[in-house]
Amino acid sequence: MKAAQISQNQLLLFLILYFYSTLVGFSASNLIHISQYDTILVLCISGLTAGIYAYFTIKLANRRPNEFFFHYGKDIFPQWIHILFMGFYFFSFLHTSAFVLREYEDFIVQTYLGGTPNWAVGGLLGMVVAVTARSGIQTLFRTAQGLFFLILIADVSNTIFIGKELKWDRWMAFITNHSGHGIFAGTYTTIPFFGEVIVLVFIFPYLTQKNKTLKTVFWAIVLGLLLIIVNFVFLLLLFGPNLASHITYPMLEMVRYIRIADFIENLDPFLISIWSTTVYLKISLLFFLSVQILAQFFRLKDHRPLTFSLAAVMVALSLQMSGGSAALTSFYTNSWATYSYFIEGIPILYLLMDTLKRFIKKRSAKNNKGM
Amino acid sequence: MIMIIILFFLFIFGYEWAYLKKKSRKRRTFWIVFCIMGMSFSYCIATIVFKNMPSPNTLIQFLFTPIQQKILGKVD
């Protein structure tokens, strides 16, 4: 498989959008419900943990920088265990892309396209994702680079326009209102969002200037957090934690508060454009990775002929995975985080095993020399 | 709905066949690509025909909900 080139700048912009995408759009309500005014603290701790995840992931990838994880993994673990883990990843990436797609379908159908069947929305976005994945990972990162500033402008305009509606006297609550359990539970459910930075181990051979990756990821986490925190602070200042946690899409309601000069009364399109784009980028990367793993498993020259078949599976899975929004929310709040820890912990397991193997090898070489 | 799925798969069958022919891929690649396409088609049809087919979410919830509840306590 030919290695494409992704610059560090493209990686930075992509990761910022990746972190921002579903956390603000679909999970704001749940996070505020659990952590209330501690949400900001929770986000900072989660960002810090993401840095630790990134450090270990990059440490593992840096040991064989030009090889794919699928190929060198069998030198670390026995082949059958490695294949099993790759199977987990294949399923997990496909499942997560289907899950995010389903969240998007529900959002669009409930909010704008009432009466439109989910399969129509899922089918259309699935088709776009398939075409992007077919074009390759470089196209995906270039798309993110191109769309980044448009998304940033839309998001900054939203936050600026909402400024005058905020109730600034709520500020004090960020300092006075704390709950230990809220911080713990919120952090537990938020870390997996940032922990998705482990995808780096799969895309590492595509990167240029690999020695700068850790620095890039560090900045992506800081800037992504900044963007996310601004949105969360504004949500809390406008609605307060109780109201915000009882609205399905609090960001959408916040944007609906914006009134500019009595003639622009609906800025929803700004928000929809941000969400649609970031969600599309996230789904595309996860989907691409699952296709890539399958192509590498079958030792195919390229992943392209598998994209449309798997895109159909992704769309069907998104429709079949739950009976409705309530079941989806229950899945997300009750089990998704723990499931994600299992999946995201695998590269650290590889790193531990690799380090242990190297240590034993070094030691036995030393002993042989001594004899 | 089933008609739309059949039409979609007919289209991608032709498209991928032309792609693989153009790139002069081995017989093995043809087999792999079309077997995966066949499985994908079967899954799509099954989701329509068997409405109550178990979903992977059920399995994940079965495995991980008790662990998460132990760690976090009941969050309502």
Spatial distance between the Cα atoms of B48 and B1, rounded to a whole number of angstroms: 8
Give the total number of structural domains in chain A.
1
- Taking CA atoms, B56 is separated from A26, A96, A129, A327, B62, in Å, by 21, 11, 22, 13, 10
Indicate whether A329 belongs to any domain.
yes
Q: Which of A335, A55, A333, A329 is nearest to A194 (CA)?
A: A55
Indicate whether A351 belongs to any domain.
yes
Structure tokens at A366: 């030393």
Would the CB atoms of B63 and A339 count as touching at under 8 Å? yes
**Which pLDDT score, from 0 to 100, does residue A371 have?**
64
**Which pLDDT score, from 0 to 100, does residue B74 have?**
63
**Which pLDDT score, from 0 to 100, does residue A49 have?**
93
Would the CB atoms of B64 and A313 count as touching at under 8 Å? no
Spatial distance between the Cα atoms of A163 and A170, rounded to a whole number of angstroms: 14
Chain B residues in contact with A342 by the CB 8 A cut-off are 64
Structure tokens at A3: 């290695």
Dihedral, CA of residue A117, residue A121, residue A124 and residue A128, to nearest 10: -160
Would the CB atoms of A309 and B40 count as touching at under 8 Å? yes
Q: What percent of chain B has pLDDT over 90?
A: 68
pLDDT in tens, B13-53: 999 999 999 988 899 999 999 999 999 999 999 999 988 88
pLDDT in tens, A213-245: 999 999 999 999 999 999 899 889 988 888 988
CB under 8 Å to A132, separation ≥6 — which residues?
A: A139, A140, A143, A280, A284, A288
**Which pLDDT score, from 0 to 100, does residue A252 have?**
84
Indicate whether A367 belongs to any domain.
no
Spatial distance between the Cα atoms of B57 and A335, rounded to a whole number of angstroms: 9
Chain A to chain B, count of Cβ pairs less than 8 Å apart? Answer: 90
Chain A residues in contact with B56 by the CB 8 A cut-off are 91, 95, 317, 321
Structure tokens at B16: 């991928």
Q: How far is CA A162 from the centre of its chain?
A: 26
Chain A residues in contact with B44 by the CB 8 A cut-off are 312-313, 316
Across the interface, which of A91, A119, A334 has its CB nearest the CB of B65? A334
- Whether the predicted pLDDT of A283 surpasses 90: yes
Tell me the average pLDDT across A326-352.
91
**Which pLDDT score, from 0 to 100, does residue A141 have?**
93
Across the interface, which of B25, B43, B71 has its CB nearest the CB of A188? B71
Indicate whether A344 belongs to any domain.
yes
- Half-sphere exposure in the Cβ direction for A221 (13 Å, CA): 24
Structure tokens at A320: 């079949």
Would the CB atoms of B73 and A304 count as touching at under 8 Å? no
> What does the mean pLDDT of chain A come to?
89
Indicate whether A140 belongs to any domain.
yes
Distance from CA of B23 to the nearest CA of A (A): 10
Q: Check CB contact of B3 with chain A, cutoff 8 Å.
A: no
Q: What pLDDT band is residue A190 in, cutting at 50, 70 and 90? A: very high
- Whether the predicted pLDDT of A1 surpasses 60: no
Indicate whether A371 belongs to any domain.
no
* In the block, residue with structure tokens 């077997």: B35
Q: What pLDDT band is residue A177 in, cutting at 50, 70 and 90? A: confident
**Which pLDDT score, from 0 to 100, does residue A5 have?**
87
pLDDT in tens, A77-101: 999 999 999 999 999 999 999 999 9
For residue A148, give its domain range. 8-355
Across the interface, which of B33, B40, B67 has its CB nearest the CB of A312? B40
**Which pLDDT score, from 0 to 100, does residue A292 have?**
95
* Residue A330, domain CATH: 1.10.4160.10
Structure tokens at B33: 């690509």
**Which pLDDT score, from 0 to 100, does residue A16 have?**
92
For residue B48, give its domain range. 2-72
Q: What percent of chain B has pLDDT over 70?
A: 96
Give the total number of structural domains in chain B.
1
